[in-house]
Chains A and B, each alone.
Chain A
Amino acid sequence: MHYDRRSFLGAAAMLSAAALTGCGTTPAPGRPRGAVPPRKGGRLRAVFAGGGAQETLDPHLANLFVEASRAKAMFDKLADYGTDVSIVPRLAQGWEPDKKLSTWRITLREASFHDGRPVRAADVLHSYARIADGTRTFRARANLALIDLRNSRAVGDRTVEFALKRPFAEFPNVLAAFGAYIVPDGTEEFARPVGSGPFSFVSFTPGRSLLLKRHPDYWEGPAHLDELEYLLANEESARVNAVLGGQAEYAHDLTPATARTYEGGGRLNVIRLNNSGMQALAMKVDRPPFDDPGLREAMFLLADRPQMIDSVLSGAGTIGNDLFGKDYQYYAKEIPQRARDLDRARWLVEKAGAKGLKIQLDTSAAAAGFLEAAGVFADQARQIGLDVTAKVGNKDTYWADILNEGTICCYRSGAMPIETHLSQRLLSGSTTNATKWARPEFDALYDKAVATADEGRRREIYLDMQRVLHAEGGFLIWGFADWLLGTAQRLHGVANAPANTLDWARFDKVWLG
């Protein structure tokens, strides 16, 4: 059974790609020409894998895909991730830093909550204080740690002045952080949530369904649909059958095998959300054998990336260049694609004295394709005389296990700005540094970048950092997976926007024909 994808694929480690930006009326990039024009009305039933009867509607607790989608239906963030994971304004109309980049003024747009109250600065400050509360464990807390909330204040009803603990040019990234939703001032209870999003609450049965209806005063224009219902089915075949049997119109997360079965068959539209999930192997650079940069390079060179895409992702993806965030803002596309070079890889292995070396590759069913990736890569490594064997660990505790243990493991990540990837995973003080990459000069480059107001200059620094990572980093990023959806023929306007970006699993812009 496919319980793997249901595991906690939260914000930080989700997907990304093409997305609509803030302008609501742009047609979806994936929509064929001559498609059915938008029509008002109807109830869309969307079926996702879920967390079972234990789930809650607190948007700050959102962790699973279904929770993220529900949160965006009922709530807004100040900003969100656009197509290239650059930052798109949402409830914030705009932002302006001071010269030192340590105080940021955010202007709110005119928007209202479902109960008619306007969205005010006090709501923003309450929401952020709730998330940042040191005694709580909300996911976005680490992102918001930079804000000095005691010295932040409301300037009138529609302006918030955020004081930061240090200068930070990428502050909009914080506003778009996963789970940083704005809830009305004083809200602690989410049995009947009130937000400012395009849909308002009607009814909820944990583990079964959530029914929402159109918020007529949504600031970006009311949704086409009258009603939106979220349904749960953890079994992939059940999600597909629900759409085939007319019980739902949108099935999230299909396997490549299912997609191939139905693609072009006319019974189910298969939508590919390209460049969605980074697929990687993480080598720990602080311990043998991968403390030897030569051996890391050998690993980069031995990987047969197209074969990985074909056999692990059944072709649903594109190859990677050992760099995070392909096609995102600040991605170093100047760096040439690495090609397979078995002769040099063999030579490097011999030079490192690693011929016949036994290496344990940690993997688990924590994410789709991990087991296959480990098996395929182990075969490839054996071709140059490395004795790599896959070891399957516990899927529920995988991410905690691989953080400090082992030497090489399967890894994946979803959409986040490149800056966030660097700060969460690749600095000496990063809390989820799975490659144990810790270099003072690299940290200094990061500090310099985020203290630089000029975007062009920042881009250059990010490029330098990516050159270092490409040459000798610990991430062997072999590909970027497509994310697959199945939709009914009568559902239109679904954007080709990978998970965690604004237009992924967003239902106010779709309609039923």
Chain B
Amino acid sequence: MNKYLGNKTAILLFILPALLLYSVVVFYPMLQVFFRSLFDWDGLTPGTFIGLGNYTRLFDDSLFHTSVYNGIVFALVITVAQIAIGTVLAFAVAEAGVRGRKFVRISVFIPVVLSITVVCQLWMAMYNPEYGLINRVFELLGISYRQDWISGSKTAIYALAAVNAWQYMGYHFALLLAAVKSVPEHYMEAARIDGASKFKAHLRITIPLMAETYKFCLIFAITGGLNAFANMYIMTGGGPGTSSYTLTYMMYRSAFRVGEYGYGSASAAFLVIECLIVTLLINRFIARQRIVY
């Protein structure tokens, strides 16, 4: 079997096309970013080598601190929301006998299908403090919790994260649904015969069997959150002031608005390393053992 699955020619044939393309088009430009992060560079001139100068400046920059903090908040909000709600929806829809499950299944994915511009426009209207639906709902419920949402310096980052969590819920839902469906039926039945409640059965049997998918969803949500950009770009421009900056947004500002491409590259390099560490940690601590049916 080792020989069968260790067929060198086959491995090369399978791996090389993707590896080559990826290395040239994605990885090589990224290496350039790392290299350029050591330069004082405006993106067009040759630039001057300044060693780790950009990095020391970075760690001293309060905008960088805000951006890192916001990235973590954003990642946490979307991870918790998407995985928790995604799981509930996936299990509910997977269950036979649920009324309108096809409708639910199709609808949940609709926000993903629409472009991010549409979704951001919608939520800007929802968050509007005067006419927005959200404040109106609070009003109807008789709660005096009217907020500025995306224009409040404390609430902005949460409000943006909520939009992202909501829009891309469908991805996690679809992945988790596929995983639930591929758990063999007899595991579930066995669990129920034993008298375990449904919730416990899921927790003890089904969810561990889906570990690989969860691992992926976690990586996807956290790194996606740390990389957040489009929501800020469309809805707040990083504002009010700098209160919804993230690393990617900071990098965009440095590179294109301030003309410090080298400095922007340093924040991008930091971001890539941050994501890589998170990924390695998740890989190390979740589902280390191979699942055996």
Q: Do A and B bind each other?
A: no
